[in-house]
Amino acid sequence: MGLLKVNSPSGALPNVISLLAALPKGLSHWKKYEKMRYQEKRTFSMAQLNRLRRE
């Protein structure tokens, strides 16, 4: 997984063909990827926040 591949203007096909952005989540691997990326970033950020609170 590259850095912000889905958010990059040239990275994901729905950024070029806007009709693909309207696909349901079950059919769009871009939306699945973005959800997974968001969850990874959130998990990491929350772990760091919790670690700081304990210190």
The amino acid at 12: A
- H/E element, 51: helix 29-54
The DSSP code for 10 is T
What does the block give as tokens for 5?
Answer: 């591949």
**pTM of the complete model:** 0.61
What does the block give as tokens for 15?
Answer: 């950024």
The amino acid at 32: K
Q: Are 12 and 5 in contact (CB under 8 A)?
A: yes
Read off the pLDDT of residues 1-55 as tens digits, 9 standing for 90 and up: 445 555 555 566 666 676 777 778 788 777 888 888 899 999 999 999 999 999 8
How far is 48 from 55, CA to CA, in rounded Å? 11
Read off the pLDDT of residues 28-39 as tens digits, 9 standing for 90 and up: 777 888 888 899
